[in-house]
Amino acid sequence: MGVAAMTGSAGKGHLRGTHRLVPPEQTWAAIRPLLSVFGITRIADVTGLDDLGIPVYQAIRPASATLAVSQGKGVTHDLAKVSAAMEMIEFAHAERVTLPTARGPATECGDGSYGLRELQLVAGSLVSDTVVLDWLQGRTVLSGRTVPVPKQYVEMSNEFRREWAPPLFETSTNGLASGNCLDEAVLHGLYELIERDCLSGIEGMPRSTHTRVDPETIHDDDCQWLMARFRAADNWFEIVDATNDLDLPCYVVNLWSPSFPVLVSGSGCHLDPAVALNRALTEAAQSRLAIISGTRESIPEQVYLLQHVRQERPPPPGDDVPTVAFTRPDRADTTLADDLTAVAEQLVRRRGREPFYVDLGLGHEAIAVAKVVAPGLRFEAAHGLVERVGPR
């Protein structure tokens, strides 16, 4: 199912903190010679800027048409370094999409399998079935059927253009993912779409209604190490179970420190609940380091304004706050292809829609990039670094 030489039908070669086809050291050996091809000039270790000691790296690409700095995290330095580099490689693929296109309105080029207004739209979007668009060829995950996808929904660029374009789609990295093979990339993108749908479900809800996970019931070694790093630096944190009707483990971690009194968050979704929680814990640390380093252009201004209004250590949850044990079953299989099938089938069962993707790969061995689309899944465009704390 992929352009890259490797396929997701092979057994997983790495299971620590994430499920990948090959270990991060092998991925790094493959992508390092290509960093300059994608305009990446530096890979920076910023772990030491915080007092947690959780590995976080940045990839720098000065001529980017989107963000010049991407970030990566993990329980090891190799994982964090590869994560940062691959995120920037995703941007490079999505900024200039040169795939063949058809041109016309949805009434002529669409296939009727989804409505344009089911996609992520900007406020006041003028999109309709009569708007003339360029269309890429996508493919459904399970049946392999071709499906047209608006190019403007897939391509990302902040470059100024001397032309008028009506506001249509919310261009974001949601569903954009990379991997060592196409199955891996599509699976990662699908996890992200489901994660954002879960977050949209708890967005704006009073915190007292969030379901907390009891940290004492978490026995995964890496998750225990990450939580120990939080405690050693006198951090307050909580783990929220955000799993929704899709029944795929999703967690949110809110993090606060007396040395950095701003509440930040991280989230993760995966068939293996330990991997989902690992992602949430490491992303919370990454979010804070993004603010501390100050190099990422997408950090909203209010994040820094908040630092002048010290947030006190959040109070412990009341007795009425629901708390659960960390007992969700691990349903991950032995191959990425099987995991992808399981997640896509679950989406069809619960939401009645088959997800699809556009293969953005450029033919580089061991680098696959895809934009995954799941019409109807919710997405908060404001989702970012700082947890918006609602009333208790």
Structure tokens at 23: 């270990």
pLDDT tens for the chain, residues 1 to 392: 434 457 788 999 999 999 999 999 999 999 999 999 999 999 999 999 999 999 999 999 999 999 999 999 999 999 999 999 999 999 999 999 999 999 999 999 999 999 999 999 998 999 999 999 999 999 999 999 999 999 999 999 887 777 777 889 988 899 999 999 999 999 999 999 999 999 999 987 887 789 999 999 999 999 999 999 999 999 999 999 999 999 999 999 999 998 888 889 999 999 999 999 999 999 999 999 999 999 888 887 777 776 667 678 887 776 778 899 999 999 999 999 999 999 999 999 999 999 999 999 999 988 999 999 999 899 875 544 443 333 22
Nearest to 238 by CA among 315, 319, 306, 299: 315
Tokens representing 370? 């895809």
- Token digits for 229? 């790093």
What is residue 175's DSSP assignment? T
Strands (E), the chain: 42-45, 56-60, 69-73, 102-104, 133-140, 146-150, 176-179, 212-213, 236-241, 250-257, 260-269, 323-324, 356-359, 368-373
Sign of the CA dihedral 257, 48, 32, 171? positive
Q: Which two tokens stand for residue 196?
A: 């954002």
Residue 15 contacts residue 270 (beta carbons within 8 Å): no
Element (H, E) at 339: helix 336-351
- DSSP category for residue 290: H
Give the span between the Cα atoms of 155 and 373, in whole angstroms: 13
